[in-house]
């Protein structure tokens, strides 16, 4: 069995800088002993610790570069993204729809059909996030 090594310090610093732009007053999310192919779940802010969480997983691409997929939940506003460190590019992934990204969307201005479509979509996204290890099954 191959011994896993932590991601390089430069990679950790770049990823931490990316997260710093997303989460105000955050804790150090990407520590020196951060490994690839493992899901990390962290409360992301000291000021609003119970309102912001981030789950992320770092993998290596075919060229030996690093890619980080993450799910940020900031009190109902969610972002599901993939961050390519080599190019500093972000790809948006499937995310919740509705008010502030909340899965329990309810709005009187939206038709019943649209509400049902959003509920179905959000269930699909939740199942995907659970499968990836970013959201815990309740």
Q: How far apart are CA 78 and CA 96, in angstroms?
A: 7
pLDDT of residue 111: 85
pLDDT of residue 28: 65
pLDDT at 93 over 90: yes
Q: How far apart are CA 117 and CA 138, in angstroms?
A: 22
Helix (H) or strand (E) holding 52, with range, is strand 52-60
- Per cent of the chain over pLDDT 90 is 48
Does 119 fall in a domain?
Answer: yes
The total of other beta-carbon atoms located within 10 Å of residue 96's CB is 25
Mean pLDDT of the chain: 83
Does 59 fall in a domain?
Answer: yes
Q: How far apart are CA 6 and CA 38, in angstroms?
A: 11
In the numeric block, the tokens 């992320």 are attached to 56
Residue 114 near residue 98 (C-beta atoms within 8 A): no
With cut-offs at 50, 70 and 90, classify the pLDDT of residue 43.
confident
Does 137 fall in a domain?
Answer: no
> Per DSSP, what are the bridge partners of residue 77?
74
Does 1 fall in a domain?
Answer: no
Q: What is the pTM of this model?
A: 0.84
- Domain residues for the domain of 15 are 9-132
Does 21 fall in a domain?
Answer: yes
Does 4 fall in a domain?
Answer: no
Our count of domains for the chain comes to 1
Does 80 fall in a domain?
Answer: yes
Residue 78 near residue 72 (C-beta atoms within 8 A): yes
Does 138 fall in a domain?
Answer: no
């Amino acid at each position: 069995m191959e011994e896993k090594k932590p991601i390089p310090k430069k990679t950790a610093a770049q990823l931490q800088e990316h997260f710093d732009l997303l989460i105000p007053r955050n804790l150090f999310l990407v520590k020196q002993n951060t490994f690839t192919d493992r899901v990390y779940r962290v409360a992301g802010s000291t000021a609003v610790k119970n309102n912001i969480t981030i789950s992320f997983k770092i993998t290596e691409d075919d060229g030996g570069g690093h890619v980080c997929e993450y799910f940020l939940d900031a009190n109902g506003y969610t972002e599901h993204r993939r961050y390519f460190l080599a190019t500093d590019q972000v790809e948006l992934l499937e995310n919740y729809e509705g008010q502030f990204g909340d899965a329990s969307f309810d709005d009187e201005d939206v038709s019943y059909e649209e509400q049902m479509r959003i509920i179905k979509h959000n269930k699909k996204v939740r199942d995907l996030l659970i499968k990836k290890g970013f959201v815990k099954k309740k």
